Structure 1
């Protein structure tokens, strides 16, 4: 099958080739790999998971869905929650009610938004993380689920100031903190000490600092749960998934990228997130082009 990057959406040949299949646009190569080669490879008879033309991420997803549908091709898109902050849709970005969040469709009825911050956030499954850590530690005995959940939740809590500062930086058009910027600081308190140091050295402006302080309780609101597991699930909606993986790698001195080991383990253990399953089921059964 021809790739989307080889033809324009209005090409009659392209329309012909995609008849009978629904195109699902994802933001990037990693997302496509996870869906196509791991979690939903059993759906390839009905769906074609692909990047947008010209590889232009979330903006390309929205534009390509619109273009393909105009040309008679059933198409859907899935974008990460972080797009809402990029678009300064703050009310929806900070929405903690999943029902309200899911009902909102700021990019049209054919583009879904992940509840979690980004696709990598769905790799943060404590049991799967522990399997990977045991494997890299040459088969050590696994820790209890409770212990692993506590560790993952502590990493998420340490990223609360990271998420709040990134939001404030976006408000002022500044670049985000790096994924690894908190990784050497084990606790939230130590991250906050570092942020205060940056403020004192004027690496964080007064304006950004003011909005950072205002954003902290908005991030904390996602941690409203009775158990570490509930708090973790809440925080994964607003903390950076790649930064979480970076912290775990740093803490356990892991080498290499664990993304596809975790993806394969999630598939083998049949713990593909229900939310993503529901998205894909909808893509398979709702092929109208209106």
Structure 2
């Protein structure tokens, strides 16, 4: 199985006459990659989702399987999986999730050299750029809000975001049912902790280990830099739901992803990690 480096030494599009496949976990991921962020490479790269017929995420294991099966058939294929996949039963190294150094994280390649593990929890995290959020709020004529003010708003709910993400990691690690993305909606602070404690049937102190590790990503950082660092290890969907409520943004089902993804592209804010990954393919 050739690596990126080996393929880069030649012409990747001629190496595989069928072009390159990139498997993604969900139909939402597919829409963002194919229709918004990387539509300019569709002559060389074919994005595919491993989600089921209902659109539910196919998950890491299906991506890995699709990549392996395609390459066994001499079809050049790569995959993209969420960072939180490192907590799945299929992950050979859960500790990689807590790696802070980007280069060390990239080199770990727990699912092989053809499966790219996102540096952030999931695709939603790449949408949560303060500048993009600021533009969306302004475009919807809700109110004028600067990206700096967005960061201040996010900081006001940081504790809740950290606590919710720690809850998810605890559930996965202990094979407990993970509640829906909107779990605890309308609750904050002490009230949110009580709801989480009842769900987990444990005291909130049981999450201290996960909370400390999450917070370590933002140690001694402030403002935009703090959010960018924390955003690597926070549950993206829960963050998005909380921010919508906080800023009083109303969308049709899943519409916010398209709006934010478009704003991210138009503002030139597509994460360099993703751009570099796609560039290595063609």
Q: Flag as ranges the 4+ runs of structure 1 deviating above 4 A.
A: 208-211
Task: Determine the structure 2 residue equivalent to 1:274.
Answer: 272
Q: Identify which of 122, 140, 144 aligns with 2:126.
A: 122
How far 1:170 sits from its partner (Å)?
1.2
Q: Identify which of 121, 140, 155 aligns with 1:136.
A: 140
Assess if the C-alpha contact under 8 Å between 2:167 and 2:196 holds in 1. no
How far 1:204 sits from its partner (Å)?
2.5
Whole-angstrom CA distance in 2 between matches of 1:144 and 1:44:
35
Equivalent runs, 1:91-130 vs 2, <5 Å? 91-130=95-134
How far 1:152 sits from its partner (Å)?
2.6
How far 1:210 sits from its partner (Å)?
5.9
Q: Identify which of 181, 192, 198 aligns with 2:183.
A: 181
Task: Determine the structure 1 residue equivalent to 2:201.
Answer: 205
Whole-angstrom CA distance in 1 between matches of 2:179 and 2:52:
26
- Taking structure 1 as the reference length, what is the TM-score of the superposition? 0.82
How far 1:178 sits from its partner (Å)?
2.7
Give the SS at the match of 2:217. Answer: helix
Q: 1:223 and 1:182, CA in 2 relative to 1: closer, same or farther beyond 3 A? A: farther
Question: What is the CA deviation profile of residues 157-210 of structure 1, one whole-angstrom value per residue up to 9, with x for unaligned ones?
Answer: 421111111111112211223322344245xxx1x54324653xx54234x856
Task: Determine the structure 2 residue equivalent to 1:5.
Answer: none
Extract unaligned runs of 5+ from structure 1: 1-17, 285-290
Task: Determine the structure 1 residue equivalent to 2:153.
Answer: 151
How far 1:211 sits from its partner (Å)?
4.3
Say whether residues 1:28 and 2:30 are aligned partners: no
How far 1:264 sits from its partner (Å)?
1.2
Q: 1:223 and 1:92, CA in 2 relative to 1: closer, same or farther beyond 3 A? A: same
Assess if the C-alpha contact under 8 Å between 2:50 and 2:63 holds in 1. yes
How far 1:225 sits from its partner (Å)?
4.3
Assess if the C-alpha contact under 8 Å between 2:80 and 2:117 holds in 1. yes
Task: Determine the structure 1 residue equivalent to 2:164.
Answer: 162
Q: How many residues align?
A: 258
Q: 1:225 and 1:35, CA in 2 relative to 1: closer, same or farther beyond 3 A? A: farther
Q: 1:177 and 1:228, CA in 2 relative to 1: closer, same or farther beyond 3 A? A: farther
Give the SS at the match of 2:200. Answer: coil
Whole-angstrom CA distance in 1 between matches of 2:83 and 2:171:
17
- Taking structure 2 as the reference length, what is the TM-score of the superposition? 0.84
Assess if the C-alpha contact under 8 Å between 1:159 and 1:182 holds in 2. no
Task: Determine the structure 2 residue equivalent to 1:69.
Answer: 71
Whole-angstrom CA distance in 2 between matches of 1:66 and 1:211:
38
Whole-angstrom CA distance in 2 between matches of 1:120 and 1:153:
18
Q: 1:77 and 1:225, CA in 2 relative to 1: closer, same or farther beyond 3 A? A: farther
Q: Give the alignment's Cα RMSD to 1 decimal.
A: 2.1
Extract unaligned runs of 5+ from structure 2: 1-15
Q: 1:215 and 1:136, CA in 2 relative to 1: closer, same or farther beyond 3 A? A: same
